[in-house]
């Protein structure tokens, strides 16, 4: 579960970079 949360956090950061 922790891994999933970490991934979600990373994905959100990536999306912000794309913006």
- Give the model's pLDDT for residue 5: 87
Annotate 1-19 with three-state secondary structure. CHHHHHHHHHHHHHHHHHC
- What is the pLDDT, as a whole number, of residue 19? 74
pLDDT, tens digit, 9 for 90 and up, residues 1-19: 678 889 999 999 999 988 7
Q: What is the pLDDT of residue 1?
A: 63
Indicate the pTM of the whole model: 0.13
Q: Quote the CA–CA distance of 13 and 17 in Å, as a whole number.
A: 6
Q: Which two tokens stand for residue 4?
A: 């999933």
Report the C-alpha gap between 19 and 6 in whole angstroms: 20
């Amino acid at each position: 579960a922790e891994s999933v949360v970490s991934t979600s956090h990373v994905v959100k950061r990536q999306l912000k970079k794309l913006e």
